[in-house]
């Protein structure tokens, strides 16, 4: 409309700021999660040009219903910024609901689910050095993979290679990381159907090491207990004592 940018009026500016800031705060509190969203309800007849531009340019899948605006420019922009994957499946996990005030012929509710599904990612590589593989493992663990292990294997034409296997709750993000770091052309993704877990708890305790009190984390289940490696290693470095000695002392104290 040939209007200078500084004169453009943002309709419901306060709502836009609240939506963006609240979303950012919620994601920050939740930590590292993948954004997985079903198709966006778009509405018909009253779709704002800004909404249409974002949906088309970002290739956001949509559904059509209602006779009024359902997807706003702010909502579309948030989806474009945080969503890693669009899906028709409904994940399982912790769920929260938020209700709007607009009167609709259907429930005006948005639901957020934190998936608890776990996946096994695998890839075979024969053109990476052990150093590259080790870096990839560290990268995945730092990025909240639940477990990573590597097995040597003999591949076609007698080439020595590696099988990298990752247990994760973030299959999309970690698959991309594996391809980016190793150059592999594909990653196999299998959903874990069932996982038997022992009841467990994580805690901290103060451990006296030569008169210094050091905090050592303890993983405790109904079957065993284990001092946290990083805490034991830090205590060993600071005190000069052998790792095994501090580990044994922590086990004895925690087992009382």
Closest CA to 220 of 179, 256, 183: 256
Q: What is the pLDDT of residue 75?
A: 78
Q: What is the pLDDT of residue 38?
A: 59
Q: What is the pLDDT of residue 83?
A: 75
Closest CA to 218 of 230, 227, 208: 227
Using 70 as the pLDDT threshold, list the residues of the chain that sit under it.
1-3, 5-13, 31-47, 63-69, 84-93, 115, 256
Tokens of 254: 């925690």
Question: 188 vs 37, 119, 123, CA distance in Å?
Answer: 22, 10, 6
Cα(119)–Cα(146) distance, integer angstroms: 10
pTM value is 0.58
**DSSP secondary structure string, 229-252?**
HHHHHHHHHHH---HHHHHHHHHH
Q: What is the pLDDT of residue 81?
A: 79
Cα dihedral: 75, 81, 83, 88 (round 10): 40
Q: 188 and 121 in contact (C-beta within 8 Å)? A: yes
Alpha helices in the chain (DSSP H): 13-30, 49-57, 73-82, 130-142, 171-182, 229-239, 243-254
Q: What is the pLDDT of residue 88?
A: 63
Q: What is the pLDDT of residue 153?
A: 95
Quote the CATH superfamily of domain 119-191.
Transcriptional regulatory protein pf0864 domain like (3.30.70.1380)
What is the residue extent of each domain of the chain? Answer: 5-115, 119-191, 200-254
- For 38, which DSSP code? P
Q: 100 and 93 in contact (C-beta within 8 Å)? A: no
E strands along 70-224, which residues?
85-86, 93-99, 109-115, 119-125, 147-154, 160-168, 188-191, 200-209, 212-221
- For 59, which DSSP code? T
Q: What is the pLDDT of residue 124?
A: 96
Q: 161 and 171 in contact (C-beta within 8 Å)? A: no
* Strand 225-227, strand 85-86: pairing: unpaired
Q: 143 and 4 in contact (C-beta within 8 Å)? A: no
Tokens of 251: 């086990």
**H helices, E strands: number in the chain:** 7, 13
């Amino acid at each position: 409309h040939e209007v200078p940018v500084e004169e453009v009026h943002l309709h419901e500016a306060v709502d836009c700021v609240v939506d963006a800031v609240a979303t950012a705060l919620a994601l920050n509190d939740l930590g590292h999660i993948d954004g997985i969203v079903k198709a966006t309800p778009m509405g018909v007849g009253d779709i704002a040009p800004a909404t249409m531009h974002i949906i088309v340019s970002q290739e956001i899948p949509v559904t059509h219903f209602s006779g009024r605006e359902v997807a706003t420019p702010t909502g579309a922009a948030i989806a474009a910024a945080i969503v890693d994957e669009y899906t028709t499946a409904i994940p399982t996990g912790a769920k929260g609901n938020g209700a709007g005030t607009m009167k609709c012929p259907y429930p005006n509710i948005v639901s957020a689910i934190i998936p608890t599904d776990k996946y096994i990612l695998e890839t075979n590589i024969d053109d990476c050095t052990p150093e590259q593989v080790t870096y990839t493992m560290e990268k995945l663990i730092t990025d909240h993979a639940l477990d990573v292990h590597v097995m040597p294997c003999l591949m076609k034409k007698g080439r020595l290679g590696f099988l990298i296997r990752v247990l994760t709750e973030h299959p999309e993000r970690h698959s991309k990381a594996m391809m980016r770091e190793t150059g592999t052309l594909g990653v196999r993704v299998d959903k874990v159907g069932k996982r038997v877990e022992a009841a467990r708890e994580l805690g901290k305790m103060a451990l006296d090491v030569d008169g210094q009190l050091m905090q050592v984390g303890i993983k405790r289940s109904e079957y065993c207990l284990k001092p946290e490696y990083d805490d034991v290693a830090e205590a060993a470095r600071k005190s000069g004592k052998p790792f095994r000695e501090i580990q044994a002392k922590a086990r004895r104290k925690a087992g009382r």
